[in-house]
Structure 1
Amino acid sequence: MKKYLRIVIAVTLLLAVTPANADVTWTGAFVLGSCCEPNSLDPAAMGISQTEGYVITAMYEGLTQYSREGEIAPRLATGWDISDDALTYTLTLREGVSFHDGSTLDAEDVVVSLERHKSLGLGNLGFILAPVASVSATDDMTVEIQLTSADFQFWAGLPHIKILSAEAIAANESDGDMAGDFFRENAVGTGPYQLVRWDPGRQTEMSAFPDYWGGWEGSHVETFIARYGLDFSTRLLLMEDGELHLIDWAGLSDIRRAETSDAISYNLGNPLQGFYHFMKQDGPLADKKVRQALTHAYPYEAMIEVMQGVALPLNSPALSGTIGHCAVFEPAQDMDAARALLAESDYADGFSLRQAYRHANEPRRFAAVLFQEALAELGIEVVLDDIPWGTFIDAQRNFDTAYDMSSHWLNIPIPYSGEMLFRLNHSSLIDTGTGNWAWYNNPEFDALLEEAPTLAPGDPRIDELLCEAQQLLIDDAVVIPVMLSQYIDLTHSSVRGYQYDPYGFPGDLHVHDIWLEN
């Protein structure tokens, strides 16, 4: 059996245009006020920060993409064949695609990009290419990808693997680094926007790429700017004045503010998004009884209440409605059980823990303070450290500097529990700073996640393996499933064409679709 995807595209512009094209109306600069700054502009190093995704997906594209309905659709590849055994993928590339350096897309760019991404082993997406045995060009515009074993996570994740200019990689390679230093601060993709400058700590500025293959008909923004380092109050004031057009990671109080403002509206995002609390296995938290005690002490009901209608309790580390989910957890606070477990441990007299959080991020602040108050009743001191995202990620890469506890949202672009479980606690993410902040290293857990995707879709053993993996995480008490939460952002009244994309992992604004009125 061969699988084909044929999609009729109403309008396809393959000829390059310029910003002066008479068919385009430029509507100024679209400015994002972001909570967090990317650590790198290299797609191969992309982690879980939504801001990284916003910037990188404006400048880079994948071979495929997700439609708004969650279906795989063409991007830089216009079609493909998948072999009967799901081991060979043959992709036909789009003609007439230009990179920002002026080179033209061909099979070599794809081969080099995929091999580079896999070899570097950076970021949070490496597992997507793990089953790839080889990538080869069968002709100038055709690529063949061979897998070592069937793995539907590869195909589901391929939209998130971006294609770079092979010429730029070769021209900027230094001492075998595959141009890692260059691409950390520069970008050479095929996306609709090209890098103008990145001022660390301040902003990233991008401009419309004149030769974008998708064309520039209709209304568009000529410049895309992501601003960093602004506290939330400042961001709100700037949005009221029309100087910011989108604010990410808004809080609950901002919904009420938006409801009373003519200039601001709010948007609720991805329902496949979980909020988790991680416990590093070190010091008192190396004792499973202590971790189990903290799991009992978590104020689940209070956390749901403060979220005021935009959260639901979780009954598993995986999300309901995803392939392989099973209910293995009861989110209920039980302080008596917590005290009993602490009494059985070596830390009955109390201890101190460090937790990183973001004060400006309202739900994360609520979670940190509520848990701090609950643990104080048990004689446990929690020292809260409000630090920038980049500083936190740097700390999490080293066991000695990693925080005892942290909380974070994780979202998945495909409804598959195995991907969430992988990003939560697979041992390959240790030292990366992009996941597994519990420093959990359990070969049995890893093996379950690695076997499940090799089975044919619909095989009941997938559910069995993933359910067993979920139970392991709960039994070992390394991650606390807190709630199913929706992402909130704010937009200025002048913004048109923006719609939150739940499949644009870790974030895709689709800036090419956005324009500003007035």
Structure 2
Amino acid sequence: MAPRRIPRTAVSLALAAGLVTLGACSPAGDDSPRGATGRPVPEATFVFANAAAAPTLDPAAVNILETSRIGAQVLEGLVSADPSTGAPAPALATSWERSGDGLTYTFDLREGVRFHDGTELDAAAVCANFERWESLAADGTRTPFATVFRTGTPRADPLYAGCTVESDSSVALSLTAEHTPLLRALTQPSFGIASPTALAAGTHERHPVGTGPFRYASGDGTNVVLDANPDYWGELGDIGTLEFRTIAEPELRYVALRLGQVDGYDQVGLDSFAPLAREGVQVLQRDPYSVSYLGINQDVAPLDDPDVRAAIAAAVDRGAIVREHYPDGTRVANQFLPARFAMDGTDLQVPSYDPQRAQELLAASSYDGEPLRFYYPRNTSRTYMQEPAKIYADIAAQLVRAGFVIEPVPIDWSDGYVAQVLEPGGDHALHLLGFNGGYRDPDYFMAALFGGPDDEFGVDAAALTGAVNRAAALPDGEDRSSAYASINDRVSRLLPAVPLAHPISAVAVDGSVTSFPLSSTGHEEFNRVRLDAAE
């Protein structure tokens, strides 16, 4: 690969001098420190740049990529996702058994595992976590647990019936109804088991304590440092110190990699693909496993008028948006499920780009020129939307040409953008957002978006909610696939949002990395990163 560029300015030289230890180092040798397992503890330092700060270090509280990525290094769940298939694989549970009626899952726990604070992993610790997750969701907070188990969801019966200690090394999880995605859902970092001692102390949001290959050392969601866990039961890998650093601007992430200030970064910007290729830098592309969309809030008049929503969809040139603002390989979306599920609707009704038709629909609608408040995030790159401000500008211009009046509402991502567009009774008429896949099941997308009455889209469709919840209970197979295809059709007729793209996203890593465990979910396991001993 091309050699790293040498910083030329005095400021850059000072930065480089202070950051020389941030590049990847050789894996630990025979004289390295050893943990209780007797294995050498790696000493290399690896710095990875996130595109946004993690609002909390507690992945059970929010469904945000950066929080989940950090949490995945520290906390482990009962099951993990197979890197190739996404199927549940052993983690803190070595095996499990499903009862004949599908209502009880009994897990056999890995023995001899301790949390980073020395607390022993046992069935009581597992149940303490499930009880906490249930309590977090009980007040209607939109947590990952609430979505999976339908806790606090109107017109949906809660699925969680309890967690029972069968023995110190065996725990039973009980449901009120069958739920096919359960084991796959438990692979999310949101279901990482935290030390009950840390939970009792109330430090888990800023200082997570798990059983994972890395343990918390210092920092917060903006810059956090993790150290290799010398007593980890599994594979330690090559990294001794792992730092996640927030660099919001894609151009600055690129510069940081080329100056040697970071060893890898997420969300390669569109303008960086070609320079990185010319310079021989490894750029690793994730398979499309997310959806971006233009949200339409039907609680804001006149967006409750189907003709107005159809006019919005017909006015948006999704093909141009994808060509101009997404990496090659990104697909134009006409539904919310990524193509990998092969559950496409057979009668999709999302209008195609037709500016003349948009004007005709608008003229026949109840729209009377009132300004539509259009929310969009700034200062962030997401797996589903790298250039939100530019996408907003193009979509707003297209809507104005069709006859709409647009009032821009830019909000910094770090100022709680997601919370503002999910706020009950919010005044957002339109907004840009998306959803990145967290586990390999269509319920991940459909339950979060359409599994109940929704403040984001102002949708309260009992039939749609029922269809989503019934589909989740069906066994994998043709009937389940057909159910989700039908849901896609139903959503396209309701048009709560205009799906824009199923995007490609990419990670760039420097020459010290010989193997990077890329994941379509973005929950990469950094103890599986392999470093070149010669670097």
1:375 is aligned to 2:399: yes
Write the deviation string for residues 359-415 of structure 1: whole angstroms up to 9, x where unpaired: 664443442222122112123325251512452123234245564333233233455
For the 8 Å contact 1:426–1:440, the answer to whether it is kept is no
Select between 417-426 and 135-144 the one with higher mean Cα deviation.
417-426
Select between 74-83 and 301-310 the one with higher mean Cα deviation.
301-310
1:388 is aligned to 2:413: yes
- CA separation in 1, counterparts of 2:176 and 2:115? 31
**Structure 1 counterpart SS, 2:114:** coil
For the 8 Å contact 2:184–2:440, the answer to whether it is kept is no
Corresponding residue of 1:185 = 206
**Structure 2 counterpart SS, 1:371:** helix
1:338 is aligned to 2:353: no
1:360–1:375 CA distance, 2 compared to 1 (3 A): same
The RMSD of aligned alpha carbons is 2.5
Give, in angstroms, the shift of residue 300 of structure 1. 1.4
Aligned partner letter, 1:185: R
Corresponding residue of 1:404 = 429
Counterpart selection for 1:159 from 161, 177, 187: 187
1:310–1:323 CA distance, 2 compared to 1 (3 A): closer
The list of structure 1 runs, each at least 4 consecutive aligned residues, that deviate by more than 6 angstroms after superposition, is none
Q: Extract unaligned runs of 5+ from structure 1.
A: 1-15, 173-178, 431-436
Corresponding residue of 1:51 = 66
1:108 is aligned to 2:124: yes
Counterpart selection for 1:124 from 144, 149, 153: 144
For the 8 Å contact 1:36–1:390, the answer to whether it is kept is no
Aligned residues: 478
Select between 64-73 and 364-373 the one with higher mean Cα deviation.
364-373
Counterpart selection for 2:469 from 450, 456, 463: 450
- CA separation in 2, counterparts of 1:233 and 1:272? 24
TM-score, L = length of structure 2: 0.83
**Structure 1 counterpart SS, 2:303:** helix
Corresponding residue of 1:438 = 457
1:309 is aligned to 2:328: yes
Aligned partner letter, 1:157: A
Aligned partner letter, 1:473: V
1:514 is aligned to 2:514: no
Aligned partner letter, 1:346: S
Aligned partner letter, 1:114: F
1:22–1:136 CA distance, 2 compared to 1 (3 A): closer
- CA separation in 1, counterparts of 2:517 and 2:288? 14
Give, in angstroms, the shift of residue 346 of structure 1. 3.0
Aligned partner letter, 1:376: V
Give, in angstroms, the shift of residue 492 of structure 1. 2.0
Give, in angstroms, the shift of residue 20 of structure 1. 11
Identity across the alignment (%): 21
**Structure 1 counterpart SS, 2:402:** coil
1:80 is aligned to 2:100: no
Corresponding residue of 1:294 = 312
1:220–1:331 CA distance, 2 compared to 1 (3 A): farther
Give, in angstroms, the shift of residue 516 of structure 1. 4.0
Give, in angstroms, the shift of residue 215 of structure 1. 4.5
Corresponding residue of 2:218 = 197
Write the deviation string for residues 422-468 of structure 1: whole angstroms up to 9, x where unpaired: 222333664xxxxxx323222221111111122233362x3444333
**Structure 1 counterpart SS, 2:338:** coil
1:206 is aligned to 2:203: no
Aligned partner letter, 1:198: G
Write the deviation string for residues 23-68 of structure 1: whole angstroms up to 9, x where unpaired: 444212x212112111221232131x22111111011011011111
1:69 is aligned to 2:94: no
1:259–1:329 CA distance, 2 compared to 1 (3 A): farther
1:138 is aligned to 2:155: no
Aligned partner letter, 1:98: R
For the 8 Å contact 2:41–2:228, the answer to whether it is kept is no
For the 8 Å contact 2:58–2:67, the answer to whether it is kept is no
Aligned partner letter, 1:147: L
- CA separation in 1, counterparts of 2:454 and 2:304? 19
1:490 is aligned to 2:514: no
1:34 is aligned to 2:55: no
Aligned partner letter, 1:266: V
For the 8 Å contact 1:192–1:212, the answer to whether it is kept is yes
TM-score, L = length of structure 1: 0.85
Q: Extract unaligned runs of 5+ from structure 2.
A: 1-32, 151-158
- CA separation in 2, counterparts of 1:248 and 1:406? 24
Give, in angstroms, the shift of residue 318 of structure 1. 2.2
Corresponding residue of 1:255 = 273
Aligned partner letter, 1:478: P
Write the deviation string for residues 299-358 of structure 1: whole angstroms up to 9, x where unpaired: 112123223522122232223341643241456201122112211233243534322133
Aligned partner letter, 1:112: A
For the 8 Å contact 1:46–1:125, the answer to whether it is kept is no
Aligned partner letter, 1:138: E
Corresponding residue of 1:97 = 113
Corresponding residue of 1:364 = 388
- CA separation in 1, counterparts of 2:361 and 2:305? 10
Aligned partner letter, 2:525: H
Aligned partner letter, 2:80: Q
- CA separation in 2, counterparts of 1:285 and 1:83? 47
Aligned partner letter, 1:66: A
- CA separation in 1, counterparts of 2:327 and 2:121? 49
1:233–1:464 CA distance, 2 compared to 1 (3 A): closer
For the 8 Å contact 1:325–1:417, the answer to whether it is kept is no
1:275 is aligned to 2:301: no
